Amino acid sequence: MTAESPVSPIPVGPAGLSSRARRFVEVAGIRVPVQDVRRHRDARIGHGIPAAEVDRVTAFQDRWGGLVLPPAPFYEGGPRILDAGCPEWVPGRGWSFEAGDCRVSMAYGFRIGADGAFGIDAYHWTPLHADMDGWVESLALADHARRWAGTVTRIKGKEVEDLDLGGFKPVPEERGATDNWWRGEDSLIAVYRGEAVGLEAPQCLEAHIYGGLDEWSLHGG
């Protein structure tokens, strides 16, 4: 029996991400060892978990498992380490699995839903982005915007609902569901609705407005 090869701490940006997100993963991220989910395949299938769900966990782990990224600007930083949990069945929602442990004590966890969406499991399942790629794209965009913005303004509650997004366009690569990014002529706006929806707490609605961006810094890749 041969020893397993050590995990390189330098991650490689997965194919399919924008160049901005790939740079973010490779420059700001590190990779740490995590569980080998393949060794649990037969046992999980034997306990009634569909093979397709076991394979979905394996695909997630191959793409994202062990990746540590800088904290997100909301959701108390997001998952600490991306690491797939065991698939679980929830009536009315189907199969889902944990995407990684929280960084701090939280009222919810982070999961991958039946349709592949990344979201929070609070009072309600609340998808934030259509997939894990979208979440990583949003982290990369937030990191980029913070670096290049002339001003950063945070607003909450009713102020967010009153935002005039006329003239703004959604940022497609972040695959927003409950959360969304918007791009204007010289600014980027991130709207975080997940806690407001998932916790039934309108006061948690928050938006971050990054102003003073030129044409390059509006995209950055």
Q: Which band of pLDDT confidence, cut at 50, 70 and 90, is reported for residue 8?
A: confident
Q: Is 116 helix (H, G, I), strand (E, B) or coil?
A: coil
Q: At 78, list the tokens.
A: 């997001």
What are the residues whose beta carbons fall under 8 Å from the beta carbon of 40, sequence distance 6 or more? 54, 86
Residue 3 scores a pLDDT above 50: no
Rounded mean pLDDT of 209-219?
95
pLDDT for 9:
87
Residue 2 scores a pLDDT above 50: no
What are the residues whose beta carbons fall under 8 Å from the beta carbon of 96, sequence distance 6 or more? 87, 88, 90, 111, 112, 113, 114, 121, 125
Residue 176 has what DSSP assignment? B
Percent of the chain clearing pLDDT 90 (strictly above): 92
What does the longest C-alpha to C-alpha distance in the chain come to?
A: 63
Question: In this structure, what are the phi and psi dihedrals at residue 122, rounded to the nearest 5 degrees?
Answer: -110, -135
Residue 75 scores a pLDDT above 60: yes
Question: In this structure, what are the phi and psi dihedrals at residue 118, rounded to the nearest 5 degrees?
Answer: -100, 130
